[in-house]
Structure 1
Amino acid sequence: MQLDTHGDNGNFKVVGHCDWAKAEDEITPDFLRSRIEPWLTALFQSEHLNLLVGAGLSSAVQQSATGKPPLGMGWIKDLKVCKLEIDAYVNKTAEAAGREGGNIEDQIRSINELIKGIEILTVLNPAPIAPPPLPSPPYRNFPTELTKLKEELSRCLKSFADSVSDGEKSIRDSVPEDKIATFNYLVNFLMSFSSRTATRDRLHIFTTNYDRIIETGAEIAGLRLVDRFVGSIAPVFRSSRLEVDYHYNPPGIRGEPRYLEGVARFTKLHGSLDWYANEGTIRRFGLPFGAASVEPFLQVEGAGTADYQQLMIYPNSVKDRETSEYPYVELFRDLASATCRPNSTLVTYGYSFGDEHINRVLIDMLTIPSTHIVIIAYGDPLGRIMSFIKDSGRQAQISLMLGDHFGDLKTLVDYYLPKAAIDRTSIRMAELLKSRGLYPTALQGKPGGEE
């Protein structure tokens, strides 16, 4: 079924075939809510629930708080080494990935690959003492080129980190009323997913973003995030997959700890602005949300020198390079193990399906008949979402909510997401009224908690 906006009253009309509405019917958001919210409520209480968040969430939060669209990731136009070759390769790989043009992520990935190649050439071709006489082939000083290329990589990483920091800073410096309202919606968004009974498997949140918007929203909401980092001063990334969790002891009961509600697992698939590599380990340093720059903090970690190549903000790769290197192999292993199991539901929000290494995991997930994917997106300008649905061959296991109405964060929270609470009292009252033959009409259409 496809909907089109109808007039200026926010209502819709049906376009094409629909089993539960006629073409002349006027569809209101309240009517859609009566159909969508119970379906999402049931899916959110699946045995295993996962949330995959893309750049769309960061864009929605920044737009809501500042009233301005985000600037994007930009492009380094003044590369000093192999500029023509890098730009050509970036455009070629971006086109192969189905994107209109490359961005700074593609540039960083291309420079990384070029550095590996020149390092190989440098081993067998050390710089001669003097250039050979003409008419010999053009003189190439590979060690010098390698040094300059690494300097360019650091410059690109600095520009990339600054763009992420600027996005956080714009949210932090926005009008207080708009900022508070935006974070309230973000809190409700996160709690709609994490409000599960503790007897069910924990919600697992995955994100491809480098910023800390999700962490900030979880902190405001009081949602405890469990990730692979261990420690207090400079938490260290650990490969061990111990099922660490939170428990509490009920009053008057000894030796029977229970799972604490409001806990979720958290994985940042492409790294984070506050991750850095140091002496063979991956650590997280204390970078405040909205910091103007990460450079002072890197100087502390690097004993006075800010080495941006230590930052673990690894760009996506169409060749899966990052999935074969530590710690990204561990992170993608978490994604596969959390999603590819029976009775599992995955909800994507703001994810454009532009990462093939993630899409392959989702395709494998759909080969299990009891799994389901819910796709919520503001738009699909490059057609990658529709292409994924078509190529998967599992349309019956996919629910699609596409468009500026469903993708709007405020509309989504107000109308379609389940209530962000485990409301046992309302559930028991509804059951009591039903047993007495009195249907709880006052509760109908109200977002639900658990089944």
Structure 2
Amino acid sequence: MTEDTESPNLLKVRDDHEPLHFVAKGDHFKLQAGSKVSWLGSTEFGVKELRNRIEPWLTSLFQSEHLSVLAGSGLTHAVHHIATGEAAAGMGAMPITSYRKEIDQAAEKTASAACREKGNLEDQLRAANELLRGLEILGHDSDANVLRNELQSGIKTFAQSILKSEAGIANAEDRKREQAFNTLVTFLMSFASRTGMRDRLNIFTTNYDRLIEAGSELAGLHLLDRFLGNLTPIFRASRLDLDMHYNPPGIRGEPRYLEGVARYTKLHGSVDWLQTGQDIRRFGLPFGADSVTPYLSAPGLGETTAHQLMIYPNSAKDRETADYPYVELFRDLAAAVCRPNSTLITYGYSFGDEHINRVIRDMLSIPSTHLVVISRDDPLGRIKQAYEEIGRPSQISLLLGPALADLKTLTEHYLPKAAIDKTTIRMSELIKQRWDAKQPHPSAQDQDTDFAEVL
């Protein structure tokens, strides 16, 4: 934060009754008119004051009995910007001509229902899929074939945009790429470093890319998901509550939890998920590959095309959540967060998916739960709208704006340093014990004198 900016920032943590609004000017911050807080003695302050307010609060929340993280597209954009200095690839219009007017109208209507300004590629894909199913039911085979071919091309274009973002990070300058992945690793491990007595971290994402998987590999973080197998893992709805343990040398008894393990769920599918017959498989698609096409011709995948990629768009009508495998994935989300003493942290999630928002509202109906919303911006005001509509301010913490939620700033100043927290605690306890041991114990006469002075 070395350049002057007037971007608004919003902070609400701990016992704040109302969000604190401030602007950043270089490395200094200034309260906006009308903002008053008891823990600041001046209208101007710095990172130190914010860190003292934020970091202990997040540290305590991260050790909740149940902890979950929901990552939106903001995480991909943040890491991509660190690596390349540019925003990640966006989603342009779908190259389709058949029933273009009807598809665009349906996409605009869906976007309006989700409080977005205009329809995007995801909305077009959803409308085209529904139209294709209708043409097949009506027996309009000729029109259905034309639309199916164009839809296949549209999904391939969609997959290309996802891989382009991955490639932008993978092919970045060495120093910047290393910095981007180091920041991502620090971000992930701040959440994943939990004591063995706590429930595993749950990571959820609405992204189709494999950025979290790449960061987890670099961090040595084991991800447990619903896929079983090694070559082309198969999605299993009957997944048991599997975990990873180890036996300490020379100790008999129950195995201990292995550190660095998290449960992972991609709510909207992934660019490397493929439907083959009755199975959903994850195929070997390298991070940042030029195209998915060469990897679809592997033996055992059958005559698959890009149309079988499981990258279904989100739906304002919840159509997708009733279909396999999404019903299983959203059940995992609800089961993970809707529990007592549960904390959910969202990063880069714009609250544009109503089916996810409903789960969050249900979670906050439990008094012991807490929601932490971290986002670099809120251009459409959906985060603030959700905060007001939920109506449980004591259970919600907000960190909005570049001065708080910029990924580098967040990991450097405000997130708990997971690798040193336990060491710091042990050091503090040792210093306290040594200090107490050096202090002379008061004699009985001194105690009587002190008691008399008090009286």
Q: TM-score, normalised by structure 1?
A: 0.90
| Structure 2 counterpart of 1:62, from 76, 80, 91 | 80
Shift of 1:257: 1.2
User: Secondary structure of the residue that 2:271 maps to in structure 1?
Assistant: strand
Contact 1:296 1:306 in 2 (8 A): no
Shift of 1:5: 2.5
Unaligned residue ranges in structure 1 (runs of 5+): 123-141, 439-451
| Structure 1 counterpart of 2:418, from 417, 420, 423 | 420
Shift of 1:314: 0.7
Does 1:116 find its partner at 2:144? no
The two structures, once aligned, show a CA RMSD in angstroms of: 1.6
| Structure 2 counterpart of 1:85, from 102, 108, 126 | 102
Does 1:204 find its partner at 2:202? yes
Specify the alignment match of 2:7 in structure 1: none
Contact 2:83 2:180 in 1 (8 A): yes
Specify the alignment match of 2:296 in structure 1: 298
| Structure 2 counterpart of 1:229, from 227, 230, 242 | 227
- Percent sequence identity over aligned pairs: 57
| Structure 2 counterpart of 1:322, from 312, 316, 320 | 320
Contact 2:84 2:169 in 1 (8 A): yes
Supply the distance in 2 between the matched residues of 1:436 and 1:15 (Cα, whole angstroms): 48
Supply the distance in 2 between the matched residues of 1:63 and 1:303 (Cα, whole angstroms): 35
Specify the alignment match of 1:366 in structure 2: 364
Shift of 1:309: 1.4
CA change 1:96–1:38 in 2 (3 A) is same
Shift of 1:417: 0.1
User: Secondary structure of the residue that 1:267 maps to in structure 2?
Assistant: strand
CA change 1:372–1:207 in 2 (3 A) is same
Letter aligned with residue 96 of structure 1 = A
CA change 1:8–1:233 in 2 (3 A) is closer
Shift of 1:420: 2.4
User: Secondary structure of the residue that 1:205 maps to in structure 2?
Assistant: strand
Shift of 1:30: 1.3
Contact 2:89 2:162 in 1 (8 A): no
Letter aligned with residue 407 of structure 1 = A
Letter aligned with residue 193 of structure 2 = S
Unaligned residue ranges in structure 2 (runs of 5+): 1-18, 437-455
Specify the alignment match of 2:114 in structure 1: 97
| Structure 1 counterpart of 2:69, from 48, 51, 58 | 51
Does 1:37 find its partner at 2:35? no
Mapping 1:177-188, distance limit 5 Å: 177-188=175-186
Contact 2:373 2:396 in 1 (8 A): yes
Shift of 1:96: 1.8
1:354-412 CA-partner distances (Å, limit 9, x unpaired): 00000000000000000000000011111110111111111110000001112210000
Letter aligned with residue 18 of structure 1 = K
CA change 1:362–1:327 in 2 (3 A) is same
Q: TM-score, normalised by structure 2?
A: 0.89
1:323-376 CA-partner distances (Å, limit 9, x unpaired): 000000000000000000000000000000000000000000000000000000
Shift of 1:9: 3.5
1:124-159 CA-partner distances (Å, limit 9, x unpaired): xxxxxxxxxxxxxxxxxx210011111111011000
Q: Name the stretch that deviates more: 361-370 or 417-426.
A: 417-426
CA change 1:254–1:364 in 2 (3 A) is same
Shift of 1:24: 4.2
Letter aligned with residue 292 of structure 1 = D
Specify the alignment match of 2:341 in structure 1: 343
CA change 1:6–1:54 in 2 (3 A) is closer
Mapping 1:71-220, distance limit 5 Å: 71-76=89-94, 78-122=95-139, 142-220=140-218
Contact 1:2 1:16 in 2 (8 A): no
**Structure 1 runs (4+) greater than 6 angstroms displaced:** none
Supply the distance in 2 between the matched residues of 1:339 and 1:432 (Cα, whole angstroms): 37
Supply the distance in 2 between the matched residues of 1:113 and 1:46 (Cα, whole angstroms): 42
User: Secondary structure of the residue that 1:27 maps to in structure 2?
Assistant: strand
Supply the distance in 1 between the matched residues of 2:41 and 2:131 (Cα, whole angstroms): 56
1:37-75 CA-partner distances (Å, limit 9, x unpaired): 000000000000000000000000111101111231111
Q: Name the stretch that deviates more: 202-211 or 231-240.
A: 231-240
Contact 2:70 2:203 in 1 (8 A): yes
User: Secondary structure of the residue that 2:298 maps to in structure 1?
Assistant: helix
Q: Name the stretch that deviates more: 5-14 or 214-223.
A: 5-14
Shift of 1:434: 3.1
Specify the alignment match of 2:442 in structure 1: none
CA change 1:303–1:344 in 2 (3 A) is closer
CA change 1:42–1:15 in 2 (3 A) is farther
Contact 1:52 1:205 in 2 (8 A): yes
CA change 1:420–1:301 in 2 (3 A) is farther
User: Secondary structure of the residue that 2:270 maps to in structure 1?
Assistant: strand
Supply the distance in 2 between the matched residues of 1:189 and 1:196 (Cα, whole angstroms): 14
